[in-house]
Amino acid sequence: MNSKTALRKAFLSCVIVVAIASSGGCAEIEVPMAEPYEPAHLESTGPDQPARVILTEEAVHRVQLQTTVVKAHGADVSLDHAALVYDKKGKPWVFTVIGPLTYVRSAVDIKEVRDDHLVVLNSGPPAGTEVVTVGAIELWGTELEIAGKH
């Protein structure tokens, strides 16, 4: 092999090595930008009123949201203690189901809490109203717009 051929092979080898080395670092990869996932959104119900919290089906599934019904007991109405959430002033509330995947906070006035975790109300949603028991605190966080923040 003459010196010209050897020089060409060496030069070609260098070109190939440089091309391979630089191709990995310079390759442009397009990553499609996904729309941000919003598991819930709020709708205003008026000034100084609790907002409607509307969840996606996936959010309901992830939170494992569960409900129960406000029951009539003679002249009284009652609900499961797990439905209660308290605001920063200690006022009790429940989240009522007002439509598919839609919830709104409703004030309650507690008459008594029984040992069987039953809450008897002076006032609040009427008997037959569906209220959230599991997932109520997540709805509260969503309404306060602090869900997912640390």
Each residue's pLDDT tens digit, 77-114: 999 999 999 999 999 999 999 999 999 999 999 999 98
Check pLDDT > 70 for residue 148.
no
pLDDT for the residue 150: 45
Would you place residue 15 in the very low, low, confident or very high pLDDT band (cuts 50, 70, 90)? Answer: very low
Contact 42, 59 (CB under 8 A): no
Q: Report DSSP letters for 40-93, one per residue.
A: EEEE--STTSPPEEEE-HHHHHHHT-EEEE-EEETTEEEEEGGG-EE-TT--EE
pLDDT tens digits, residue range 39-73?
898 999 889 899 999 999 999 999 999 999 999 98
pLDDT tens digits, residue range 36-45?
778 898 999 8
Contact 53, 103 (CB under 8 A): yes
Q: Which domains does the chain have, with CATH numbers?
A: 40-143 (2.40.420.20)
Check pLDDT > 70 for residue 7.
no
